[in-house]
Structure 1
Amino acid sequence: DTSRSPPNWEEMYDLVLQNRRSIPAPVDTMGCASLHDPNAPEIDQRFHTLVSLMLSSQTKDTITAPTVRNLQTTLPGGLTVASILATPPQILNNLISKVGFHKRKTEYILATAKILREEYNGDIPDTLEGLMKLPGVGPKMAHLCMTAAWGKTMGIGVDVHVHRICNLWGWVKNTKTPEDTRIQLEKWLPREKWAEINWLLVGFGQTVCLPRGRKCGECPLSNGLCRAAFK
């Protein structure tokens, strides 16, 4: 329903897209969509994507990426459902100790691997509902996983950057949670942009529109398009 869309959103989107293409961001090479081992079997690549997302919660890409690489290179046979299940919890916890909430994530990953082996023949679920039933997987992770692992975009993956920037720009109306932002955004943003907007705004939030110390002087929207510029 484009009648709900904010003014000038297309111009803003295109300017930020140009900016993103010219300024590299951590998400471009260390985001969860790019951490699977392309030489691994596809079933394992999908598991890499899911584990990457589980590790990434409240953790910077620059920490998540080397942690995933560590699992891929250290575990016997690489990062697979079987290798995770064969790893004692304390060893797994040590391998992922640099990410936030690593003890809880150790429990989630082990419990998830068990579910995948018992209920999905070692693969990951191919539905949002199935993914969200896994321990520690919420809507954001499920949507991003569907796009990155299965190539099916069922909705927008809204993380803290997308949530924050959409509120700054007035693209959503004072939403309190990322899930509220997703619901409002999906009402007007054309579906063909749903997969891209996470990459777009996460990278923009990492390089220009920072959580603290926004670089409004370097922003292509500071000419009056962004209502929050220099405030």
Structure 2
Amino acid sequence: MSTSMFLLVCCGTRVFHAVPGFTMNSPYFVQTCRSVVTRSGAGAAGGAAAGSLRSKLTRSAGVGAAVPPVEVKVEAEEPKVSSVPSTTTGSCNEVIQQATVLMKTETVVLQNSPRGHKRTHLKVEYDRNDGVSSVKTEHWEPLNWKKPLELIREMRSSRDAPVDNMGAEKCYDRKAPAQVRRFQVLVSLMLSSQTKDQVTGAAMQKLRAHGCTVENILATDDETLGKLIYPVGFWRTKVKYLKLTSAMLQREFGGDIPNTVEGLVRLPGVGPKMAHLAMDIAWDQVSGIGVDTHVHRISNRLGWLRKPTKNPEETRKLLEEWLPRELWSEINWLLVGFGQQVCLPVNPLCSVCLNQYSCPSAHKSSPVKRPKSGSPRAQSSSSPCKVKTEPEQEIATKNEMIKQEPTCTSTSRRRRIKTKVNR
């Protein structure tokens, strides 16, 4: 016999019964125990065998009283001991009842299993979260954003901003076939980048008179096409984009524009803003918010973003997180016109804005240094419709101002020095 436990097998069911001090693992004990109770319930030796077994165990343990049992573990796939028929002898029934009570206690893994039997291990499983935090993020939205939006709607009720009369929704030929109308919407959006709506509208009128279709754009040489769209911003680059886009539409889409954002952004010169606006105007599908420089600027000024953004694409993602989808199509039209008339990029007209008492940026967005009188920037800031709205256009204006300033030559300096000496 070895230390720490013994094995009792009854009715084909294995019960691990640990007894402190000794373990019965001899083949004779296993055979004797199997002969006590069979699956049919008839004992080979009757109650006497069960009694002799208990007496042997008591004598081997060296105690007169029954040894208190310890915790037991039973393999899950095997039947319970309590399923033994009631025809067994009384002594064996007592042992079975005692084992049944022990099985209800907490199971443990026995370190020294009997010979010929595999050690049973507890299977521990952990909740899989795949690295995702179980804490739910709260839905963020700006405080009292509906009131400023209603005031902007009130200020835009007249619909007299440049975007209302010369935007992409007004530049296509309504009598043309649907495929041609969609192409003209895309062309107007491509020309509107870094360009005021007045210039874009004039260029689209000349293109429509020439024939603004995929076939006519491909048949027109670059020089003629450049004269038609001049003076839109970066007109030489846009001539190249118009040719490449028209060739791609004819080759891959049968002359029509794609009906998905993924397909539109593949076209040369088309970005996310143009793609979402084209889906809304040309295909009448709201796929996202068209964020240009006006929407980007005003959203940051009003505090409508969870954190300040540096480009329109970041603004679009943060706006779409909280702004209701039914407002995605309207917000571009509202904020673009509002930015053209009131919330100007330079010298915003906060004194006439209805949100001047609730806007966190009211009376704070104007630059410290004002442009000189007579300069192009001063003339553009005097009227809402002539404001430079893009950073690239402001840089171009600065370069023009530098070129127009009179330069002081070396000869003029010499003359000034001579006059001072003579004096």
Q: Does the TM-score normalized on the shorter chain lie above 0.5?
A: yes
Q: Deviations over 1:37-78 (max 9, x none)?
A: 1011111000010000000000000100010011001x2xx2
CA RMSD between the two structures: 1.2
What is the SS of the residue equivalent to 2:254?
coil
Match of 1:187, SS? helix
Q: Partner residue of 2:245?
A: 112
Contact 1:2 1:189 in 2 (8 A): no
The amino acid of 1:83's aligned partner reads N
CA displacement at 1:3 relative to structure 2:
3.4
Report which of the two has the higher share of helix: 1
How far does residue 8 in structure 1 lie from its aligned partner after superposition? 1.1
Question: Could you say which residue in structure 1 is the equivalent of 2:266?
Answer: 133
The residue number in structure 2 matching 1:61 is 197
Gaps of 5+ in 2: 1-136, 365-423
Residue 162 of structure 2 is matched in structure 1 by 26
Does the CA contact (< 8 Å) of 1:28 and 1:203 recur in 2? yes
Tell me how far apart the structure 2 counterparts of residues 111 and 2 of structure 1 sit (CA, whole Å): 45
Q: Following superposition of structure 1 onto structure 2, how do residues 136-151 of structure 1 map, counting pairs within 5 Å?
A: 136-151=269-284
Report SS of the residue matched to 1:222. coil
Q: Secondary structure at the match of 2:246?
A: helix
1:80 paired with 2:216, answer: no
* Corresponding residue for residue 93 of structure 1: 226
Counterpart amino acid of 1:187?
E
Change (3 A) 1:23 1:131: closer
- Distance verdict in 2 for CA 1:178–1:18, change over 3 Å: same
Q: Distance in 2 between matches of 1:3 and 1:112?
A: 40
CA distance in 1, matches of 2:208, 2:159: 29
Q: Which residue of 2 aligns with 1:41?
A: 177
Question: What letter matches 1:117 in structure 2?
Answer: Q
Q: Say if 2:295 is the partner of 1:185.
A: no
Residue of structure 2 in register with 1:218 after alignment: 352
> Please, which of 257, 266, 274 is the counterpart of residue 124 of structure 1?
257
Aligned counterparts of 2:223 and 2:362: Cα–Cα separation in 1: 47
Whichever residue aligns with residue 328 of structure 2, its letter is: W
Post-superposition offset of 1:22: 2.6
With normalisation by structure 1, the TM-score equals 0.96
One-letter amino acid of the counterpart of residue 137, structure 1:
V
What TM-score, normalized by structure 2, do the two folds share?
0.53
Residue 205 (1) aligns with residue 325 (2): no
What residue is the counterpart of 1:165 in the other structure?
298
Count matched residues: 227
Which has the greater radius of gyration? 2
What's the offset of the Cα at 1:2? 9.0
Higher RCO, Cα 8 Å, sep 6+: 1
Q: Residue by residue, what CA displacement relative to the aligned partner does 1:56-106 show, whole Å, maximum 9, x if unpaired?
A: 000000100010011001x2xx21101111101111011112100000000
